[in-house]
């Protein structure tokens, strides 16, 4: 039986250091995701990749562009054994699109957003997925 990975992503508030003007972070409860790509499949090739990375997580920091796309996404520090997980998560999250305005009517453009990705092992015959899950973190 193949071991499969499920990567879940949680949206949270983000703050970007080094910005000349402090930009208010985007909060999940105040934004709407207009587009989120289908889950990205991945089956680790090595026999120890899945055991080494089970339950680990890392943050991806992005900026919401004027068109709602998440841009300039970068992975934060992590201890993942299989770096393909990072590449897959970055590619997936970079395709998300959020509404141009918050629920309260403020612009989302230029606001930082952090997506937390967690990898959990599951057994089955499918490949691993990168999936977004709402979080109130």
Element spanning 59, H or E: strand 57-64
For the chain, 137 residues long, give each residue's pLDDT as a single digit of tens.
344 444 555 555 444 333 434 478 888 888 999 998 876 666 666 655 566 777 778 899 999 999 999 999 999 998 887 788 888 889 989 999 999 999 999 999 999 998 888 776 655 544 454 444 444 34
Q: What is the pLDDT of residue 80?
A: 80
pLDDT (0 to 100) of residue 41: 65
From residue 128, give the alpha-carbon distance in Å to each of 5, 76, 91, 114, 131: 4, 21, 14, 22, 9
pLDDT at 131: 47
User: Are 114 and 13 spatial neighbours (Cβ–Cβ below 8 Å)?
Assistant: yes
Would you state the pLDDT for residue 82? 79
| Pairing between β-strand 112-123 and β-strand 57-64 as defined by DSSP bridges | antiparallel
Domain architecture of the chain: domains with CATH: 3-132 (3.30.1150)
pLDDT score recorded for residue 97: 96
Q: Which residues contact 13 (CB under 8 A, 6 or more apart)?
A: 25, 26, 27, 28, 113, 114, 137
The rounded distance, in Å, linking the Cα atoms of 111 and 122 is 35
């Amino acid at each position: 039986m193949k071991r499969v990975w499920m990567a879940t992503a949680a949206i949270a508030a983000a703050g970007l250091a080094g910005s000349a003007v402090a930009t208010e972070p985007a909060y999940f409860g105040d934004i709407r995701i207009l587009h989120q790509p289908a889950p990205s499949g991945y089956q680790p090739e090595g026999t120890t990749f899945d055991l080494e990375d089970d339950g680990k997580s890392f943050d991806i920091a992005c900026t919401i562009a004027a068109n709602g796309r998440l841009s300039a996404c970068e992975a934060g520090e992590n201890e993942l054994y299989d770096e393909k997980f990072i590449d897959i998560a970055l590619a997936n999250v970079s395709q998300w699109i959020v509404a141009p305005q918050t629920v309260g009517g403020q612009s989302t453009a230029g606001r930082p957003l952090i997506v937390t990705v967690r990898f959990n092992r599951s057994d089955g015959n499918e490949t691993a997925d990168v999936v977004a899950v709402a979080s109130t973190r």
